[in-house]
Amino acid sequence: MTGGPPALQVNGLSASYGPGRPALRGVTFSAAAGQAVAVLGPNGGGKTTLFRALLGELPVAGSVRYGGAPAYVPQTERSRLDFPVSALDVALMGAYARTPWYRRIAASDRALARRALLRVGLGERAAERFGALSGGQRQRVLVARALVQDARLLLLDEPFAGVDRASEDAIMGILDELRAEGRVLLIATHDIEQARDWDRVLCLRGEQIAYGPPAPTLTTEVLEATYGDEIVVLGDGERAVAVQHHAH
Amino acid sequence: MQRAVVAILLLAVAAGLLGAWIVLRRLAFFAHAVGTATFPGLVVAGPWGLTPPLAALGAGLGFAALLARLTRRGATSSDAATGLLLTGALALGAVLASDVYRSGAGVDRLLFGTLLGLGDGDLWLAGAVALAAVAATAALARTWLATGFDPAGAPALGIHAQRGDWLLLALLAATVVAVLPAVGALLVSTLLVVPAATARLVTGSLGALLPTAVALAAAEGFAGLLLAYHLDLPPGPAIAIVGGAGFALAALASAPRQRRAAGVAA
C-alpha cells in the first residue's frame, strides 16, 4: 500500500539543541500512507535529532506536515528495567494522552492494550514484569504501546537492535501490518541490508545526504558520503556494511 | 506524645507516598541532601526572627538552585555536586550554631528532632503536605510513572515530563520541611526513604508499593516514637533504628525472590 498523496511532508527542516549550528539541517522528504522509510546514518548523524524534531521536542526551522501526533518506539535499553510495571502497564501508557488525570483508563483502552499485546505475540505474558522479559519481548511490548496510541506516524528507534530472531520476525510482521493499514513508519537503523527491504531510505550525516527508493539511492557514493570511513563495501559493490564505533 | 503520634501519622502519608516516587526515581540521596541543607536555615531562623519552616524552605531552595547551577554544564556530576553542597551546608550550619549564634543544646533538636516542641503549626503543615501528596499522586501518578520508566519516550506519550518533575521536587521540598521538627535535618530519610525502600523489597507493583510505603512509614514512625519516649531518645534516631531493622528483615525475607528474579534476568 504505497503511493498516493504524502501523509508526511518535511520541507527544509533544521533542528538544534540550543543556539549555534543546528544538529541537523536541510532535510526534505515526503512519505505516502503505508510507506516505511529507513533512516540511515552514523552515530551522531542526526537520526535521533530528526525523531525528536518530529516529536516536537526540539526547536525546528522549516515545515513538517502530518496528521495527528506521532508515536515513538524507543530502544528497550533506555527503559528502566527495575520499575514495578507489567507488560500490560507499559502497553496502557499508550492511552495516557487521551485519558484525563481524573479518570481511570477506559475499559475499551484496556481491551485495546490486551489486543495489542496479543498482536505482538505476548498476550499470555501481559501480567509479567516488563524487566523480566527478554530484550526482544520488551521491544515488542513497546511496539504494542505504540499500537495503543493508534498514531498514523510511527518513529521506531532501531527496533531490531539486540533482539532475538523470534522477536525480529514478530516485529517485522507487525510493521508489515501497520504499513497495510496505511501508517507511515520511520525506522532508524544501522542495518543497510535490511534498509533495502523498505520503501524509501533517508541518509543523514548532519544533513540530508540522499532520499529515495533503496535500489537507486543506496549507491557506494551515497553510503560513503553518509558513513565516511565507517563504511565497508563488499564484493562487487552490491553490498555494504556500516562499522559503528561506539564510545563506552 | 499524643500530638507527636498525630504528626507522625500525618507525615507518614506524605513521606510514604512521595518516598515511593523518590525511591523509584533514584532521588534518595537528593532527598537526604535537601534535608541536611536546611540545617543552616534552621540555625539562623531564631536569631533572624524567621519562622523555622520558612527558613528551612529558603535554605532547601537555595540548595536546589546551587545544585542546578553546578550541574548545568555537565562538568560536575549530579551526585558529586550533591555531596559537595551537602557537606558545605552541614559545615556552615555547624559553624553558625557553634561560633556565631551559640545555639548550644538546641542543635541536637535541629539535627535529630523532638517530641516536645511540636506545635499547632507543625501539625497543620503535616496535614497540608499529606493532603498535597495524596492529591498529587492521584493527579500525577501516570506522569511520574511514564517519566521514570522511560524518560526518552514519555513526551511522545503526551506527558509533560518537566512540569511533573518540578512538581515532584517542590512537593519533596515541602515534605522535607514538614518532617524536620519530628526527625531533624540529618534524618529526614528515616521517613522519606527507608519505609519506601523497604516496601520496594516486598512489593512487585506500584499499586502495592504506595500503600505499603505509607503503612510502613506509619508503623515505623509510631514504633520509633514509643522507643524514643521510653528510652528518652530523640525521635529521629529511634525511628531510624526501627526503620533499619525493618529494612534488614525485609531484605532477608525477600532475598530468595530477588535471587530468582536475578536468575531470570540473567
Instruction: Enter the ipTM.
Output: 0.80
Residues A145 and A233 in one domain: no
- The pTM (predicted TM-score) of the whole model is 0.82
pLDDT digits over A58-101, tens only?
Answer: 888 888 888 778 899 988 878 888 899 999 999 999 999 889 88
pLDDT band with cut points at 50, 70 and 90 for residue A248: very low
For residue A240, the model assigns a pLDDT of 62
Helix (H), strand (E) at residue B145: helix B120-149
Residues A121, A170 contacting (CB under 8 angstroms): yes
Over range A105-124, report the average pLDDT: 93
What are the chain B neighbours of A94 within 8 Å (beta carbons)? 157
Answer yes or no: is A177 within a domain: no
How many residues does the structure list for chain B?
A: 266
Q: Which residue has the cell 532527598?
A: B31
CB contact under 8 A, A102 and B152: no
**What is the pLDDT confidence band of residue A241, given thresholds at 50, 70 and 90?**
low
Residue A224 has pLDDT above 70, yes or no: yes
Both A26 and A125 in a single domain?
Answer: no
- Same-domain pairing of A190 and A240: yes
Angle among Cα A169, A175, A178 to the nearest 5 degrees reads: 145
Which residue of chain A has the CA closest to B209?
A: A84
The chain B residue lying nearest A69, using CA atoms, is: B156
Burial label, B126 (beta-carbon count in 10 A; 0-12, 13-18, 19+): buried
Residue A174 located in a structural domain: no
Mean pLDDT within A182-204: 91
pLDDT in tens, B9-43: 999 999 999 999 999 988 888 888 888 888 888 88
Query: Inter-chain contact B142–A149, Cβ cutoff 8 Å?
Result: no
One domain for residues A100 and A215: no
pLDDT of residue B184: 80
pLDDT for A145 beyond 60:
yes
The answer to whether the beta carbons of residues A89 and A78 sit under 8 Å apart is: no
**Same domain (yes/no): A99, A80:** yes
Q: Which residues contact B226 (CB under 8 A, 6 or more apart)?
A: none
Check if the beta carbon of residue B172 is closer than 8 Å to that of residue B25: no
Q: Which parts of chain B have pLDDT scores under 50? A: none
- In whole angstroms, what is the distance from residue A146 CA to residue A110 CA? 14
Whole-number pLDDT of residue A213:
94
How many separate domains does chain A show?
A: 2
Q: Does B260 touch chain A (CB under 8 A)?
A: no
Q: Do A50 and A158 fall within a single domain?
A: yes
pLDDT at position A247 is 41
CB contact under 8 A, A84 and B159: no
Distance between CA atoms of residues B107 and B42, nearest Å: 9
* Nearest CA-CA distance, residue B201 and chain A, Å: 11
**Strands (E) located in chain A:** 6-15, 24-32, 36-40, 60-66, 71-73, 153-157, 184-188, 200-204, 208-212, 231-234, 239-242
Q: Is residue A160 part of a domain?
A: yes
Domain ranges of chain B: 2-187
* Mean pLDDT computed over A37-50: 90
CATH code of the domain occupying B2-187? 1.10.3470.10
User: Is the residue at A170 inside a domain?
Assistant: no
Chain B nearest CA to A70, separation (Å): 7
Read off the CATH number of the domain in which A39 is found.
3.40.50.300
Q: What is the largest CA-CA distance in chain A?
A: 62
Is A84 found in the same domain as A130?
Answer: yes
The number of C-beta contacts closer than 8 angstroms across A and B is 78
pLDDT value of position B156: 87
Beta strands across the sheet bearing A6-15: A24-32, A6-15, A60-66
Q: Cα separation of B74 and B251, whole Å?
A: 35
| Nearest neighbour of B205 by CB, restricted to A84, A142, A149 | A84
| Residue at A43 is within a domain | yes
Residue among B198, B209, B214, B211 at smallest CA distance from B247 = B198
Distance to chain B for A118, nearest Cα, Å? 21
Structure confidence at residue A245 (pLDDT): 52
* Separation in Å, CA B242 to CA A101, B7, B23, B142, B217: 37, 18, 19, 32, 10
Cβ contacts of residue B162 below 8 Å, gap of 6+? none
Q: Indicate whether A63 and A75 sit together in one domain.
A: no
Q: What integer is the mean pLDDT of A3-14?
A: 81
Q: What is the DSSP string of B6-37?
A: HHHHHHHHHHHHHHHHHHHTT-HHHHHHHHHH
The whole domain housing A131 covers 71-150
Which of A171-180, A226-235, B74-83 is predicted least confidently? A226-235
Let me know whether A96 and A202 are in one domain. Answer: no
Q: Would you say A6 and A29 are in contact if contact means Cβ atoms under 8 Å apart?
A: no
Residues A42 and A159 in one domain: yes
